[in-house]
Structure 1
Amino acid sequence: MRHINIYYIYFLLSQVIWGILPAFWILLRDLSPFYTLASRIFWAAIFCFLLILKQHLLPHLLDLRNQRAQWPYIAGACILVTLNWGAFIYATTRGYILQASLAYFINPIVVIFFGGLIFRERISRLQKLSITLAAAGLLIAFALYGQVPYLSFIICLTWASYSILKKKIVMDSQVSVFIESFSMVPLALAFMLFSEYEGVGAIGVFHGLQWLLLPATGVVTAIPMMLFTAGVKSVPVTVSGILMYCSPSLTLVIGLLTGETITQPMLITFIFAWIAVALYITGLYRTMREIKSHTGLVEVRKRQ
């Protein structure tokens, strides 16, 4: 039991760190979001590689050559996480933190849907209703106001798809995160050098201790990613769905504290999302009670 619980702790910690991460990205808003993304990729790869060397995981990395069946999953994860990072950085540095929060309120519902569709996990009627309501909130907001929180949509779909894909990757979590970052390093480094050459990079913008923010992007990226990757493979999709609500709740608070306001279209979407969350939690609670009741009945019969 203790061995299982540690994965729950890993997963929960990743959600808490991601929830407060917008406060860090705000410190980098003077830079282009693409430059920040490139820095994040570059420094995350370096930080992950140092951890791999420290923990003597290099043989696991070299063994990737013999795991060709994993290559398509790793490539897909690399593309999805890069798109997700870029959209999230843009949202948090350009005044759309609430859209980022909304994305991760809807995300668990989408993960649940994917879990039932791909892994054939049981979805109760209330959970199906929660999925329908979350989608209805987006459609109603669009129908009434002609507006859709596109950043929320992009962040949500990329991360939900990434979460499901990670369950297919069996290699060590640190090695997996390193490969996902390192594969994009050539493009990231080229973009950073080009930006500096054109005079639109960090030179001339950052001074003194501000330069420490760039390598810090690797630390704040790699640590929650490794915690998430270590936990997601051992935590059931339906359980991870509920734990994911820690992150958007913290992000919502940060968005409101930074002066963002909830527009009418977003308020409608949020209301439907919150109702969907309540229904999902109710459905999950009922399912857990049924399992507990069934387990107790089986134990009683065994004793008889």
Structure 2
Amino acid sequence: MGLVFSISAYGVWGFLPGFFLLLAPASPWEIVAFRILMSLVFCAILLTVTRGWRAFLELARQPRVLGAMALAGVLIYINWQVFVLATLGGHVVEGSLGYFINPVITVALGVVLLRERLRPLQWVAVGVSVIAILVIALGYGAFPWIALALALSFGFYGFIKKRVGGQVDAVSGLTLETVWLTPVAIVQLVVTGVTVGLTFGTVSPVHTLLMVATGVITATPLLLFAAAARRLPLVALGLTQYLAPILQFLTGVFLLNEPMPLGRWIGFALVWLSLVLLTVDMVRAARASRRASVPVA
């Protein structure tokens, strides 16, 4: 069942570009503002249904948790905004690159922030990823800022969530993050309304429902991922994370016909090679850990 939860979570994330494209002609700023507000509404409903308000309020009284969730909110806001801007701007492939290199960024953060020691294969994977980014930048004629912004924002977001550990559940965490971001969303809606105009309620009933559904489409995969994380070993969870960028990449290349010059293909091939190396290292480490934990007769 854990595998079903994990595949479902990453599957939803993989099809997000298609969902956001359905929200046109709404601007990226209006979409993200509604994503924040509707996520807050959906989380409030979930807390009510699951009777989680008491636990949520206890977390909200802890300054350390509030500070961590505020920082997490800033990072996830950057991630959401860049992702929607990339999707509506015709850069779905570069967005997928960000999530392909995210595991490598996570490994690098462990070295820089936690002083973790990398195994030789991990060092090779990090080095290959750096070369891949340079190849893409040179071959495509532009530095992959979108990919790095997505990878770094989500990498630091994951680092913060890991630091708070099991203290903050998925629903309470997302609720606190969206509470912090609500003023930003309101300002964003006001500015968008004054400048380019809001589309909510003016296009069609289906468009209005889809805008409201941004809260469900945001919170659901997070809840599925949390359920998967409790049931699956780390290796299985790590392998399924590649499903989302693969689906995004296929959407950009084959459905949206985004350009893929030779330099970009070579760069992506190097990224995929680094992911293979990381996966092999992860499986090796898991097997070694299991052998070490087996009691000697």
What is the TM-score normalised by the length of structure 1? 0.86
Which deviates more from structure 2 when the two are superposed, residues 218-227 or residues 41-50? 218-227
1:152 aligns with 2:147: yes
Which deviates more from structure 2 when the two are superposed, residues 192-201 or residues 265-274? 192-201
Confirm or deny: 8 A CA contact 2:37 2:178 kept in the other structure: yes
RMSD: 2.5
Change (3 A) 1:188 1:56: same
- Specify which of 46, 58, 61 is matched with residue 51 of structure 1: 46
Report deviation, 1:23.
Answer: 1.1
Query: Structure 2 unaligned runs (5+)?
Result: none
Counterpart position of 1:176: 173
Report deviation, 1:206.
Answer: 1.4
Letter in 1 for 2:209: L
- Specify which of 69, 94, 102 is matched with residue 99 of structure 1: 94
Letter in 1 for 2:62: Q
Counterpart position of 2:280: 282
Letter in 2 for 1:263: P
Change (3 A) 1:234 1:148: farther
Letter in 1 for 2:239: I
For 1:207-286, what aligned pairs fall within 5 Å after superposition? 207-229=204-226, 240-256=237-253, 257-286=255-284
Give the Cα–Cα distance (whole angstroms) in 2 for the partners of residues 233 and 82 of structure 1.
26
- Specify which of 10, 13, 23 is matched with residue 18 of structure 1: 13
Confirm or deny: 8 A CA contact 2:76 2:157 kept in the other structure: yes
Counterpart position of 2:56: 61
Give the Cα–Cα distance (whole angstroms) in 2 for the partners of residues 249 and 56 of structure 1.
37
Change (3 A) 1:171 1:292: closer
Q: For residues 210-258 of structure 1, what are the alpha-carbon distances to aligned partners after superposition, in whole Å with 9 as ceiling and x for unaligned?
A: 2111101111011112333555588777765433211101111111222
Confirm or deny: 8 A CA contact 2:60 2:176 kept in the other structure: no
Change (3 A) 1:203 1:24: closer
Report deviation, 1:30.
Answer: 1.6
Aligned residues: 294
Q: For residues 81-109 of structure 1, what are the alpha-carbon distances to aligned partners after superposition, in whole Å with 9 as ceiling and x for unaligned?
A: 00000011111112111011111111111
Letter in 1 for 2:148: F
Give the Cα–Cα distance (whole angstroms) in 1 for the partners of residues 61 and 242 of structure 2.
38
For 1:17-166, what aligned pairs fall within 5 Å after superposition? 17-119=12-114, 123-143=118-138, 146-166=141-161
What is the TM-score normalised by the length of structure 2? 0.88
Change (3 A) 1:115 1:240: farther
Letter in 1 for 2:266: I
The percentage of aligned residue pairs carrying the same residue is 27
Query: Structure 1 unaligned runs (5+)?
Result: none
Change (3 A) 1:243 1:123: farther
Change (3 A) 1:284 1:65: closer
Change (3 A) 1:291 1:187: closer
Give the Cα–Cα distance (whole angstroms) in 2 for the partners of residues 224 and 67 of structure 1.
26
Q: For residues 267-304 of structure 1, what are the alpha-carbon distances to aligned partners after superposition, in whole Å with 9 as ceiling and x for unaligned?
A: 23211101101111222232233334444xx43x32xx
Confirm or deny: 8 A CA contact 2:139 2:264 kept in the other structure: no
Change (3 A) 1:244 1:122: farther
* Local SS of the residue matching 2:8: helix
* Local SS of the residue matching 2:25: coil
Confirm or deny: 8 A CA contact 1:48 1:222 kept in the other structure: yes
Change (3 A) 1:27 1:92: same
Change (3 A) 1:198 1:119: closer
Report deviation, 1:163.
Answer: 0.9
Change (3 A) 1:157 1:233: farther
Confirm or deny: 8 A CA contact 1:16 1:246 kept in the other structure: yes
Confirm or deny: 8 A CA contact 1:12 1:243 kept in the other structure: yes
Report deviation, 1:209.
Answer: 2.0
* Local SS of the residue matching 1:167: helix
Which deviates more from structure 2 when the two are superposed, residues 108-117 or residues 237-246? 237-246
